[in-house]
Structure 1
Amino acid sequence: MDMNQYLTMFIDESNDHLQSLNENMLQLESNPNDLGIVQVIFRSAHTLKGMAATMGFEDLASLTHQMENVLDLVRNDKLKMQDSIFDTLFKSLDALESMVQDITEGGDGKADVSAIVAALQAIERGEIIAPSSTATGTPSATVSTGITLDEFQFSVLDQSISEGHKVVYIQVALREDCQLKAVRAYMVFEALERSGEIVKTYPDVQDMEQGNFEREFLLYYITQKDVEDIKGQILGVSEVESATVVQLDHETLQQMVLESAAALAAPALEPVQATSSVTKLSELEAQPVKEAKATPRANTGGNPSRTIRVDIERLDVLMNLFSELLIDRVRLEQLAMESKNQELTDTVEHMSRVSSDLQNIVLKLRMVPVDTVFNRFPRMVRDLAKTLDKKIDLIITGADTELDRTVIDEIGDPLVHLLRNSADHGVEPIADRIAAGKPETGTVHLRAFHSGNNVFIEIEDDGRGIYRDNILKNALKKGVVTESEAANMTDEEVNQLLFAPGFSTAEKISDVSGRGVGLDVVKSKIVALGGNVTIYSTPGKGTNFSVQLPLTLSIIAAMLIRMGSEKYAIPLSSIVETAIIRRGQVKTVHGSRMVHFRESLIPLISLSRLFEITDFDEEREEETEIVVIRKGDRLAAIAIDDFIGQSEIVIKNLGKYLPTIQGISGATILGDGQVALIIDANAFIK
């Protein structure tokens, strides 16, 4: 076995272990006292460390070794898990995933993990350093805060220092007899925001608005004012007992971020002169996000593995070979029918049965559980909840539902956008949920299930829902619709405006939403996969995004039609029914040709005009055959020359040498060797 094969095995197994670590860390966060889960996590980390060391990836091995040390203390009951330790371990996993990804892309897997290693070492030592209660000016090496910063907040502060702004850490203490703590905190914030920007507070703003804090609160602040001026502003507020204002530089900011992780990591040690707000940080941090019930991946031993790894490219080659076999089978069936040779016919029929069974097996080999996509979402929603200061339960059902690998590869990003949308726009802040009589923890359901030849994936939240007036207000403001169009739109049409390019209801731009990018990408990607997305919402109750996808994109059932001397294929999944109409049944409405269908008028589309087919014109025919197609709930009729029949066809891409042709999704080779273009019904219905 050459080194490349060893490297491939290392990458595959590392990704498996990292996924197991993420899943079990989420399980442990919900059950922090379950030492059985800790044992599973420790074994995965230990195995990953050994593999990395064997392959010579030192940074990866070093970081995993330090994680292993922390986990060893936990499993031996020498350290209790808490939010700050979870956050540090999750950041470690993110760094490990980045390094493995770098190795996958041909890199050496090196990364600067010194900051994370230092934080893990501080947790291991049980160190904690209290913030100073008297210092002003430049901090000493022992200054620490009780505030944890995410990467974005740290980069904002660090860049502000580079640009010449003053970044200060502020600690405010109110008098013991203060009756209106929330009001005094608000007055301090108001005074500070006149001449600067508050980046992060502890406790968070929502807790302070409700008075859920002791006498003291902490914050990071960007300004151009001097330290003494800031301190004077704060002390000018009634019932403020003291104010500590510390100006930071690059080095001290970095040190404070590292030491705050250490300061929150040692429950066994009593802090020296620590403020009450720091000691209660673990009580006030956001609750962990729950996920669907799952069992930790343990090494059961005993039963040998009955699975093997197969390179995806080999499955693609197998699929292509079978596609050629399917084309030859159809050709043989046609030749047997024309020859009227019974022995040949019997042999071809037997071969057809065998190849049908082979087709089912090949297609099943390409089917992958959606769990391969879903398994990264619990961690993502957990991080989103912390970023947004919300409490969110993610409940996953139907993770064993299978989809073709080509669909699986493409559906991940659209689902990320929809989940982020539910977390940001759907689930309300805790205070709003309580005011609305809802539980403070929001729920997002992610479910998948089969229905016919389709798979449905639904993302449903119990949040604020979609309000028609809010969408139309934004749509009118951005010029997406006119006032006359808005007045005649149904609720469903209004909801579909969420998928308009550049449309957003976010009031503020953040790293989560509000940049006008997201749902339009979701719609275009799903439509490109031959699917559809529908929105159901009840204002004040919640929203459901339902994504419909085809089971496979490689072999489909289609209706073959003839247009003059040319042949086309229409996927059966797009066809409602077929019919014959007379010339007198065609109506002209506002310049468009329409036909009656089930007590309604639907547009009649002429393929001969669209594709410039010169040897057929349905207007010269007394009777015309039509195919009624659908896209979601919208219908249209296509006028055709003749039906050839139903057949299973192999989808072939047109290739990169041909330009994109509107209304054509690909081509197929028929039994007689001719090429038939595959019609994209979605392109005809706007």
Structure 2
Amino acid sequence: MDMNQYLEVFIEESREHLQNVNDQLMRFEKNTDDLGYVNEIFRSAHTLKGMSATMGFDDLAQLTHKMENVLDAVRNHQLDVHTEVLDALFESVDALEIMVQSISEGGDGQLDVKLLVQKLQRIVAEEPVAQHAASSIEYDELVQTLLSQTADQGFNAFEITVQLERTCLLKAARAYMVFDVLEQAGDVIKSAPTVQDIEQEKFESSFIVILVTNESQEKLQASIMEVSEVESVKIAAVPVKKETKMKELVSPEVAAAIQEVTVSAPSKSPVEEKRQLSNNKTIRVNIDRLDSLMNLFEELVIDRGRLEQISKELNNSELDETVERMSRISGDLQTIILNMRMVPVETVFNRFPRMVRQLSKDLGKQIELQIVGADTELDRTVIDEIGDPLVHLLRNAVDHGIEMPQARLENGKNEKGTIRLKAYHSGNHVFIDLEDDGAGINREKVLQKVLDRGIIDEKTAETLTDKQVYELIFASGFSTAEQISDVSGRGVGLDVVKNTIESLGGSVTIDSKEGYGSRFSIQLPLTLSIISALLVQMSEERYALPLSSIIETAIVQPKEVMHVHGQKVIDFRGAIIPLIDLKELFTVPNSVQGDHYSVVIVKKGEKTAGLIVDSFIGQQEIVLKSLGHYLPDVFAISGATILGDGQVALIIDCNALIK
């Protein structure tokens, strides 16, 4: 059977199960008395083992099999939970994630896990797991009656003990195959363990079955031994005491019930049963298909703009109505497509508890990570990019923010520090706040570092506000670490955070109070593909300004314009803000100054500026297109869009202008 067709599903489901194991392990570590977490971990590990063995990834299957042994010992109260047990399980998850990642990249998923397997075996060997193999089967009154009735009809009754190989990974599947062979030969009337326990692999390596059949012992023996990974089969005839009348042995009600009794083999493996019961109202869709759908819709938006332009020029009422209806329908379609691309930030947040646990352990700190709003949704393209910046911010909070337990106690704090990661919607943006109750940012230390590195001079340093000083930690190469470690000190990190977030059309701000903690607030657009923009005219050229950056538009008279150090400025609501003439900046040809200034007020973080244009065209939804590899670094231009008349308008990057 060609397994490649199932590979994508295997990878995706494996990641889901590993994430579940990760989450439940984190919860179990905090409350080791609750074995419900262990059962949940066991189920995910068991399913992953079965899938891996089926797909032929033996290292994955072997490691999860050893994890199962440890988990089984824990949930049966045969193994005390201590740090070594938890660490070994966490290490196993790390190794499994590496193997799954290898498979997703086209590898074979092989990894040398001998030492890890030995560690798991040693843990279990300290307190051996009890054997759950069936040693005998109980012949109750009902079974005896059934056997008696079948004997009267000339059938044989056999007690069959099946021993699977100890190394068998898919015990339930092998048992199912044995039951399938037996069902073809006769009727199974009882098993030990029960059918349900066998389906759930609640047995060690053997089970007993009572079979009523007209087949011979030799033929049964040969048929069962044809099933792979069956080590041995013992078949013994069951002595049956023949009874003449069933009603003499049992009540009429029981006798009637016996006639309706049908005992069958396990109908499906646990994995198959899970698939059967899962809700069929959702399907998995390859993300490439969604990208193709989005590209097609972007072309539709461009053509919609063209139709609207033609409709205005022709002034035809029927055409106007049709275009208006098309615009309304395409707007609804746009909402549906964008929602299809939305992914909860949980997909990024999920990996952080483990990371914080490991970092705090390495640094000797006690830290609790609180996550709020993990169900907040963002466009997949944004989700793909936001992971690394958040990793840098978290590492910064763990290393520089949270103090050592002793230092916290001396400052009257709880020895356990808290980091809070919160996501929420606001308008057309998503905000992600990362807050800690640590030491905060030391203003003087930051200033001294930037002065030593020549990032600013002393004269400038004297004029900076606290907020401006805090923003200096985003400078390239900046670090306050006294020594280089695996966590920090190389001056790479927060500058990457700022650059990545701004490239996504977002912003990041810092608020801190020394001794009490810091808060990093990230603002991100909901989507990057289709945005609302203000179209402006400059001579014969048109440009687009994202509405997310605009505060308002204004008409400014020349007499209201002032000059400070050669820079045009205006008084905007009590604050002096600079004016930037876009025609001069972009060297627009044939530009002529009118009798007033048309100004677009834009904002980035705490900074505000006014952009001078010739006139305002109006608001429009535009499709953001990249300038490609040939024009990667055009200053203050983030992309381009195609307008309704087929002309190209460049999209201005307001963040770059203010910066």
Task: Please give the range of the TM-score, normalised by the shorter of the 2 chains.
Answer: 0.7 to 0.9
Residue 36 of structure 2 is matched in structure 1 by: 36
Residue 117 of structure 1 is matched in structure 2 by: 117
TM-aligned CA deviation for residue 634 of structure 1: 0.4
Q: Any conservation in 1 of the 2:79–2:127 contact (CA below 8 Å)?
A: no
> Which residue identity lines up with residue 460 of structure 1 in the other structure?
E
1:156-305 alignment runs, 5 A limit:
304-305=279-280
TM-aligned CA deviation for residue 612 of structure 1: 1.3
| Cα deviation digits, residues 528-555 of structure 1 (max 9, x gap) | 1111111111111111010111111011
Q: Any conservation in 1 of the 2:417–2:437 contact (CA below 8 Å)?
A: yes
TM-aligned CA deviation for residue 2 of structure 1: 5.2
Structure 1: distance between partners of 2:103 and 2:464: 52
Task: Compute the TM-score of the two structures, normalised by the length of structure 1.
Answer: 0.73
TM-aligned CA deviation for residue 52 of structure 1: 1.0
1:2-151 alignment runs, 5 A limit:
3-126=3-126
> Which residue identity lines up with residue 675 of structure 1 in the other structure?
V
- In terms of Rg, which structure is larger? 2
> Which secondary structure does the structure 2 equivalent of 1:326 belong to?
helix
Residue 175 of structure 1 is matched in structure 2 by: none
Q: Any conservation in 1 of the 2:437–2:518 contact (CA below 8 Å)?
A: yes
Residue 477 of structure 1 is matched in structure 2 by: 452
> Which residue identity lines up with residue 679 of structure 1 in the other structure?
I
Q: Any conservation in 2 of the 1:57–1:109 contact (CA below 8 Å)?
A: yes
1:232-631 alignment runs, 5 A limit:
304-618=279-593, 621-631=594-604
Structure 1: distance between partners of 2:636 and 2:333: 32
Structure 1: distance between partners of 2:520 and 2:559: 42
> Which secondary structure does the structure 1 equivalent of 2:39 belong to?
helix
- Is the deviation greater in 666-675 or in 331-340? 331-340
- Flag structure 2 segments of 5+ consecutive residues without an equivalent: 129-272
| Cα deviation digits, residues 405-425 of structure 1 (max 9, x gap) | 111000000001111111111
TM-aligned CA deviation for residue 585 of structure 1: 2.4
TM-aligned CA deviation for residue 4 of structure 1: 2.7
Structure 2: distance between partners of 1:116 and 1:643: 66
Task: Compute the TM-score of the two structures, normalised by the length of structure 2.
Answer: 0.76
TM-aligned CA deviation for residue 305 of structure 1: 3.8
Residue 180 of structure 1 is matched in structure 2 by: none
> Which residue identity lines up with residue 318 of structure 2 in the other structure?
E
> Which secondary structure does the structure 1 equivalent of 2:73 belong to?
helix
Structure 2: distance between partners of 1:640 and 1:346: 33
Q: Any conservation in 1 of the 2:627–2:640 contact (CA below 8 Å)?
A: yes
Structure 2: distance between partners of 1:570 and 1:357: 24
TM-aligned CA deviation for residue 120 of structure 1: 0.6
TM-aligned CA deviation for residue 595 of structure 1: 2.1
Structure 1: distance between partners of 2:352 and 2:16: 16
Q: Any conservation in 1 of the 2:3–2:55 contact (CA below 8 Å)?
A: no
| Cα deviation digits, residues 422-458 of structure 1 (max 9, x gap) | 1111111000010011111111100001111111100
**Root-mean-square deviation (Å):** 1.7
> Which secondary structure does the structure 2 equivalent of 1:118 belong to?
helix
Q: Any conservation in 1 of the 2:349–2:374 contact (CA below 8 Å)?
A: yes
Structure 1: distance between partners of 2:314 and 2:4: 53
User: Could you tell me which of 662, 679, 682 is aligned with 2:635?
Assistant: 662
Q: Any conservation in 2 of the 1:532–1:547 contact (CA below 8 Å)?
A: yes
> Which residue identity lines up with residue 486 of structure 1 in the other structure?
A
> Which residue identity lines up with residue 412 of structure 1 in the other structure?
G
Structure 2: distance between partners of 1:465 and 1:612: 45
| Cα deviation digits, residues 1-46 of structure 1 (max 9, x gap) | 9533211111111111111110111111111121111111111111
Residue 677 of structure 1 is matched in structure 2 by: 650
CA shift in 2, pair 1:299/1:371, >3 Å:
farther
Residue 183 of structure 1 is matched in structure 2 by: none
Q: Any conservation in 2 of the 1:608–1:617 contact (CA below 8 Å)?
A: no
TM-aligned CA deviation for residue 580 of structure 1: 1.3
CA shift in 2, pair 1:299/1:546, >3 Å:
farther
Structure 1: distance between partners of 2:633 and 2:568: 27
Structure 1: distance between partners of 2:3 and 2:126: 41
For these two proteins, the number of residue pairs brought into alignment is: 515
TM-aligned CA deviation for residue 73 of structure 1: 0.6
> Which secondary structure does the structure 2 equivalent of 1:304 belong to?
coil
Structure 2: distance between partners of 1:549 and 1:478: 31
CA shift in 2, pair 1:303/1:43, >3 Å:
closer
> Which residue identity lines up with residue 288 of structure 2 in the other structure?
E
Structure 2: distance between partners of 1:46 and 1:573: 48
> Which residue identity lines up with residue 637 of structure 1 in the other structure?
G
Structure 1: distance between partners of 2:322 and 2:556: 41
- Is the deviation greater in 489-498 or in 593-602? 593-602
TM-aligned CA deviation for residue 349 of structure 1: 1.3
Structure 1: distance between partners of 2:85 and 2:411: 34
Moved over 6 A (4+): 298-301
Larger relative contact order (CA 8 Å, sep ≥ 6): 1
TM-aligned CA deviation for residue 622 of structure 1: 2.1
Residue 207 of structure 1 is matched in structure 2 by: none
> Which residue identity lines up with residue 320 of structure 1 in the other structure?
N
Q: Any conservation in 1 of the 2:343–2:378 contact (CA below 8 Å)?
A: yes
Structure 2: distance between partners of 1:584 and 1:72: 82
TM-aligned CA deviation for residue 588 of structure 1: 2.1
- Is the deviation greater in 654-663 or in 18-27? 654-663
TM-aligned CA deviation for residue 659 of structure 1: 3.9
Structure 1: distance between partners of 2:592 and 2:504: 32
> Which secondary structure does the structure 2 equivalent of 1:96 belong to?
helix
> Which residue identity lines up with residue 483 of structure 2 in the other structure?
K
| Cα deviation digits, residues 349-378 of structure 1 (max 9, x gap) | 111111111111011111111001011111
- Flag structure 1 segments of 5+ consecutive residues without an equivalent: 129-297
CA shift in 2, pair 1:583/1:321, >3 Å:
same
> Which residue identity lines up with residue 652 of structure 2 in the other structure?
I
Q: Any conservation in 1 of the 2:423–2:432 contact (CA below 8 Å)?
A: yes
- Is the deviation greater in 598-607 or in 97-106? 598-607
> Which secondary structure does the structure 2 equivalent of 1:475 belong to?
helix
Structure 1: distance between partners of 2:609 and 2:279: 56
TM-aligned CA deviation for residue 299 of structure 1: 7.2
Structure 1: distance between partners of 2:30 and 2:575: 54
Structure 2: distance between partners of 1:303 and 1:315: 23
